[in-house]
Chains A and B, each alone.
Chain A
Amino acid sequence: MTTQRPAGLAGAGLAGELAEIVGGDHVRTDAGALETFARDATPLHRATPDAICFPGETREVAAVIELAAERGIPVVPRGSGTNLCAATVPHRGGIVLSLTRMNRLLELDAANMVAVCQPGVITARLGEAAAERGLLYPPDPGSRATSTIAGNVATCAGGLRGLKYGVTRDYVLGCEVVIGTGETLRCGGKLVKDVAGLDLTRLLCGSEGTLGVITELTVRLVPAAAANATGVAYFSDLADAGRAVSQILAAGVLPVTLEFLDHTCLETVEEFAGIGLRTDAGALLIFGQDGAAEAIAGDMSAMAEACAQNNGFGVEIADSDADAQELLEARRAVLPSLSRRAPLTILEDASVPRARLAEMVQRIDAIAAEHDLLIGTFGHAGDGNLHPTCVVDPAQDGVLQRVEQAFAQIFAAALELGGTISGEHGIGLAKRDHLRSQLGDAHMRLLTRLKAAFDPADILNPGKLAS
Chain B
Amino acid sequence: MSEPPIFTEELLDRCISCGFCLSACPTYALTGEEVSSPRGRINLMRALEEGRLPADDPTLAEESSFCLGCRACEPVCPAGVQYGPLLEEWRARQWPPRTRPLRLRGLLWATNRRWRVRALGLPRRHARRRRGPGPWLMLGCFERALFPAVSRLAARLVPGARVVARQGCCGALHAHNGELARGHELARELGEALPGVILTTSGGCAAHLAAVLGRDRVRELSEWLVESGAAASSGGARPDGAAASTGAAASTGAAASTGETGARPSETGARPSETWPRPSETRPRVGLQDSCHLRNANGVWREPRELIGRVAEYVELPSASRCCGAAGTYALLRPRDSRVILDAKLDEIAAAEVDYVVAVNPGCLRQLRQGLRRRGSATRAIHLAELLATLGD
Q: Bound state CA distance, A101 and B21, in angstroms?
A: 18
Task: Let me know if A103 is at the binding interface, CB within 8 A.
Answer: yes
CB distance B58 to A36 under 8 Å?
no
Q: When each residue 304-340 of chain A gets 1 if its CB lies under 8 Å from chain B and 0 otherwise, what string results? A: 0000000000000000000000000000100110011
Q: Using a Cβ–Cβ cut-off of 8 Å, how many residues does chain A contribute to the interface with B?
A: 37
Q: When each residue 274-293 of chain A gets 1 if its CB lies under 8 Å from chain B and 0 otherwise, what string results? A: 00000000000000000000
Q: Bound state CA distance, A13 and B37, in angstroms?
A: 28
Selected from B21, B32, B57, the residue in CB contact (under 8 A) with A32 is B57
Selected from B22, B60, B79, the residue in CB contact (under 8 A) with A80 is B22
CB distance B80 to A36 under 8 Å?
no
Q: Which chain A residues border B35 with CB–CB below 8 Å?
A: 28, 32-33, 36-37
Name the residue on A nearest B57 (C-beta). Answer: A32
Task: Let me know if B53 is at the binding interface, CB within 8 A.
Answer: yes
CB distance B43 to A35 under 8 Å?
yes
Name the residue on A nearest B60 (C-beta). Answer: A32
Q: What's the least CB distance linking B341 to chain A, in Å?
A: 18
CB distance A145 to B20 under 8 Å?
yes
Restricting to A342-391, which residues have a CB under 8 Å from any CB of B? 343, 345
Q: Bound state CA distance, A28 and B18, in angstroms?
A: 23
Q: Using a Cβ–Cβ cut-off of 8 Å, how many residues does chain B contribute to the interface with A?
A: 33
Task: Let me know if A38 is at the binding interface, CB within 8 A.
Answer: yes
| Centre residue among A32, A98, A103, A143 by max chain B CB count within 10 A | A32
Q: Which chain A residues border B78 with CB–CB below 8 Å?
A: 332, 335-336, 339
Q: What's the least CB distance linking B192 to chain A, in Å?
A: 34
Q: Bound state CA distance, A42 and B53, in angstroms?
A: 21
Task: Let me know if A39 is at the binding interface, CB within 8 A.
Answer: yes
Task: Let me know if B44 is at the binding interface, CB within 8 A.
Answer: yes
CB distance B47 to A340 under 8 Å?
no
Q: Which chain A residues border B62 with CB–CB below 8 Å?
A: 32
Selected from A31, A36, A100, A143, the residue in CB contact (under 8 A) with B20 is A143
Name the residue on A nearest B61 (C-beta). Answer: A32
Selected from B18, B60, B76, the residue in CB contact (under 8 A) with A82 is B18
Q: What's the least CB distance linking A343 to chain B, in Å?
A: 4
CB distance A41 to B32 under 8 Å?
no
| Centre residue among B13, B16, B76 by max chain A CB count within 10 A | B16
Task: Let me know if B98 is at the binding interface, CB within 8 A.
Answer: no
Chain A interface secondary structure, helix, strand, loop or mixed? loop
Q: What's the least CB distance linking B217 to chain A, in Å?
A: 23
Q: When each residue 56-78 of chain B gets 1 if its CB lies under 8 Å from chain A and 0 otherwise, what string results? A: 01111011000000000000101
Task: Let me know if A30 is at the binding interface, CB within 8 A.
Answer: yes
Q: What's the least CB distance linking B54 to chain A, in Å?
A: 9
Task: Let me know if B40 is at the binding interface, CB within 8 A.
Answer: yes
Q: Which chain A residues border B79 with CB–CB below 8 Å?
A: 335-336, 339-340, 345
Q: Which chain B residues border A32 with CB–CB below 8 Å?
A: 35, 44, 47, 53, 57-60, 62-63
CB distance A33 to B33 under 8 Å?
yes
Q: Bound state CA distance, A81 and B62, in angstroms?
A: 22
Q: Which chain B residues border A40 with CB–CB below 8 Å?
A: 17, 19
Q: Bound state CA distance, A243 and B19, in angstroms?
A: 36
CB distance B33 to A35 under 8 Å?
no
Name the residue on A nearest B24 (C-beta). Answer: A145
Q: Bound state CA distance, A450 and B62, in angstroms?
A: 44
Contacts A98-B33, A336-B78 known; A31 to B59 CB distance under 8 Å? yes
| Centre residue among B17, B21, B34, B58 by max chain A CB count within 10 A | B34
Q: Bound state CA distance, A36 and B32, in angstroms?
A: 13
Selected from A31, A41, A101, A103, the residue in CB contact (under 8 A) with B57 is A31
CB distance B59 to A33 under 8 Å?
yes
CB distance A145 to B76 under 8 Å?
yes
Selected from A35, A43, A145, A146, the residue in CB contact (under 8 A) with B52 is A35
Q: When each residue 159-176 of chain B gets 1 if its CB lies under 8 Å from chain A and 0 otherwise, what string results? A: 000000000000000000
Q: Bound state CA distance, A30 and B22, in angstroms?
A: 21
CB distance B57 to A100 under 8 Å?
no
Q: Which chain B residues border A43 with CB–CB below 8 Å?
A: 16-17
CB distance A54 to B33 under 8 Å?
yes
| Centre residue among A33, A38, A54 by max chain B CB count within 10 A | A33
Q: Which chain A residues border B23 with CB–CB below 8 Å?
A: 122, 124, 145-146
Q: Bound state CA distance, A340 and B78, in angstroms?
A: 10
CB distance A345 to B32 under 8 Å?
no
User: Which B positions have Cβ atoms within 8 angstroms of A?
Assistant: 13-14, 16-23, 32-35, 37, 39-41, 43-44, 47, 52-53, 57-60, 62-63, 76, 78-80
User: Which A positions have Cβ atoms within 8 angstroms of B?
Assistant: 28, 30-33, 35-43, 52, 54, 80-82, 98, 100-101, 103, 120, 122, 124, 143, 145-147, 332, 335-336, 339-340, 343, 345
Top 10 nearest A-B pairs (CB, nearest first) are: A32-B59, A100-B32, A36-B40, A343-B13, A82-B19, A336-B78, A36-B35, A33-B35, A36-B34, A146-B23
